[in-house]
Amino acid sequence: MKKQITYKLIGLVVATNWYGVKGFSHLLIETDPDGLKKIKENPLQDYINYGVQSIDYVDFLVYKTEYYKRNGYKIFKETEEPIEEIEAGKLDLTEAEQEFVLDLLTQPPDVVHYK
């Protein structure tokens, strides 16, 4: 039986561009155990390669998927609840920005494959 583990991190990234303007991204990051380790070690990074001045805040819920292949069958075992949360940085939003973020989080996330 072959077993493979992957992780899905879903959450919010707040960045500041070179003109001092905040930007917000709702992300779904798909990664392996090594990628998760790198994210935990340095969560404030530019996952979408926008080339921003700084990543100010991240908040991700982490879900785990185990994939088994045996006797011609594929079996997926995925957690329904997050196994952990990764949060880093400082979140300092105006009321208008808070409303924007709440609306953003109801939209489908941008998908990033992280290694």
DSSP of the chain: -EEEEEEEEEEEEEEE-TTS-EEEEEEEEEE-HHHHHHHHH--SS-TT----SEEEEEEEEEEEEEEEEETTEEEEEE-SS-SEEEEEE-----HHHHHHHHHHTTSPPEEEEE-
The pLDDT mean for the chain works out to 94
Q: With CA atoms as reference, report the closest residue to 50 among 25, 30, 29.
A: 25
Residue 1 has pLDDT above 80, yes or no: no
Q: With CA atoms as reference, report the closest residue to 89 among 56, 47, 48, 52.
A: 56
14-43 pLDDT per residue, tens: 999 999 999 999 999 999 999 999 999 999
pLDDT at 69: 87
Residue 84 has pLDDT above 90, yes or no: yes
Residue 48 has pLDDT above 90, yes or no: no
**In the chain, what are the domain boundaries?**
2-109
Residue 113 has pLDDT above 90, yes or no: yes
